[in-house]
Structure 1
Amino acid sequence: MLSIGEFSKICQVSTKTLRYYAEIGLINPEKINRENGYRYYSINQLERMLFINRLKSYEISLEEIKAILQSEKDQFEEKLILLLNKKRWEIQEKLTAYDRMVKQLGNDMENLKKGEPILNNLKDLDIKLVEVPAMYILSIRKLVSIEECKLGYDLFFNQLYKKIAEEGLTIIGPPMTIYHSEEYLSEGYDIEFAIPIKEYATGTKDFNPGLCIKTRLKGSYSEITSVYAKQHEWLEKEKFCTAKPPFDVYITNPREIKRPEDFITDIYLPVKKI
């Protein structure tokens, strides 16, 4: 048997953390001395603790780790593989985001060296006043998390493409997302994933944006807030206001274009004159 201090030293986990893990049922001492309250762990528990540490190093939550440890033996491996795949994707997403951040930092530093402002891209954004004709759309509207939003093509557009193929409908334009949330919500967004189609069929609806301002963004979606800022500057200057929820049209398919700098997105904001 190992004292809590010995177990702590071997596994590189503080005794305070071990006591917390016992409170939440993650790993309990093998024995507790009733007289003095001393806690003891068995040699066999070292592997369990090392397993917990390994999953924690992947930023897997304690709740997820506990659920895996409590899995039935015949489901343990399958659930663990699913969890690790999910975490690998999340980590890869972070690496991609950091890579974009490093590139953006480099661009900002170059602009500063040239005597130009960091937000140099704002001057290149063109805003056009356009009339968008009415159309039919097949859509899915959901409250989605930020992660689900990033996976929109796979999670939601694929469902729409499947329905279109099954019912023999005709696509007449690129996919779009309509943003119904009135404010930024960290827990998720009220988004409608839509594809314009020729026919009016079960599940389709009218979409009539009308008068809009349109800005074409060439590059990563991370720059989209710059477009929003520029559009609202235009609204104030030209005496217009928003009329309906904004929407984005994906001219390029993110699944086919590998480099974010090659993405092309048309950003629309329905407006009316004040």
Structure 2
Amino acid sequence: MFKIGDFSKLSKISIRMLRHYDEIGLLTPTHINKVNGYRYYSANQLSTTNRIHALKDMGFSLSSIKEILTEYNDRESLIRYLNIHYSQVREHLEDTQKKLLKIETTMERIGRTDIMKNYDVTIKDFAPKYMMTLRKTIPTYQDEGMLWHQLFSETKGHNVQVDVPNYSKAVFYDVGYKENYVDVEIQLAVSGNYKDTENVKFRTVPSVTAATAIVKGNFNQLTDACEAIGNWISDNNYDVDGPMFNIYHIGPGQDSNSDNWVTEVCFPVRKK
């Protein structure tokens, strides 16, 4: 057996922490001398201290480590427990990454002097267009790519003639902003006449008058463009008159470099 000082060196755990572990029942000495109170530990307890180190590095609290060592001492149950913890840590990491992105975006916005000066809001009349369309509810706005993949996969054998220059849109039908399960329709202008597939519909999209702003660069700027359009609508005595949509003049499908993307943010409007 080892005195507490020697065991402390072998286990890489301070004497103070070994005493604390004893107090909370996490790691108790093999023997305590009743005369002088000296604590003694055995060599086989070093495997336990190694597990404690590993579990602490994974982010477990001491109370959780005690529970794991007591209740999950077989391989199968420990793997199940760690899988649950893995999912929780991964979810926390994703949340943290989202927060970091929001912080970066906010810092970028603070660096801009005047949103209204960055975006020239104009009124445009969009003529009717014959388009192939696909409307579905998707998990989040970031999953819009799923729709484009399905659109092209489902029409692969139809020899569809896409208009040049490319004219592609995404229409957002939800009444308000939603974090999840968003109702989105993508539209792509085409020439000719085609039969509908199971999910892709070919139709003429009617004309619309909209307040628009051009965004050059990644999609993080779309919020600022919406703010600029909102201010313009209010200042010029208009009302929103239908679901907003984005026109992707240059998007991920044409250029992988987000710095080169050109998006036109559009809000249908009518005079009050």
TM-score (norm 2): 0.64
Q: What pairs with 1:34-49 in structure 2 (closer than 5 Å)?
A: 39-42=70-73, 44=75, 48=79
Deviation of 1:262 (Å):
2.5
Corresponding residue of 1:196: 189
Aligned to 1:80: none
Aligned residue pairs, count: 216
- 1:123 and 2:117 aligned: yes
| Pair 18,256 (structure 1): closer, same or farther in 2 beyond 3 Å | farther
Q: Within 2, Cα distance between the matches of 1:49 and 1:174?
A: 50
Partner of 1:137: 131
In the alignment, which residue of structure 2 is the partner of 1:220?
Answer: 218
Q: Find the counterpart in structure 2 of residue 157 from structure 1.
A: 148
Q: Which runs of 5+ in 1 are unaligned?
A: 21-26, 30-38, 62-86, 112-116
Contact 1:157 1:194 in 2 (8 A): no
Identity of aligned residues (%): 12
Q: Return closer, same or farther for 1:227/1:166 CA change in 2, 3 Å cut-off.
A: same
C-alpha RMSD of the superposition? 3.7
How big is the shift at 1:218?
A: 0.9
Report what 1:105 is aligned to. 107
Secondary structure of the corresponding residue to residue 186 of structure 1: coil
On the 8 A contact 1:164/1:170 being kept in 2, the answer is no
Deviation at 1:45, TM superposition (A): 6.2
Measured at CA, do residues 159 and 237 of structure 1 come closer, stay the same or move farther in structure 2, by a change above 3 Å?
same
**Which one of the candidate residues 220, 233, 240 is aligned to 2:238?**
240
- How far 1:57 sits from its partner (Å)? 7.5
**Structure 2: 5+ residue stretches without partners:** 1-24, 28-47
Q: Secondary structure at the match of 1:151?
A: helix
Which residue does the alignment assign to 1:182? 175
State the Cα distance separating 1:103 from its structure 2 match: 7.2
Query: 1:171 maps to what in 2?
Result: 162
User: C-alpha displacement at 1:104, in angstroms?
Assistant: 5.9
In 2, the alpha carbon distance for the partners of 1:171 and 1:144 equals 24
What SS class does the counterpart of residue 134 from structure 2 fall into? strand
Could you tell me the TM-score, scaled by structure 1's length? 0.64
Larger Cα-atom Rg: 2
Query: Cα–Cα, structure 1 residues 41 and 163, in superposed 2: closer, same or farther, change >3 Å?
Result: closer
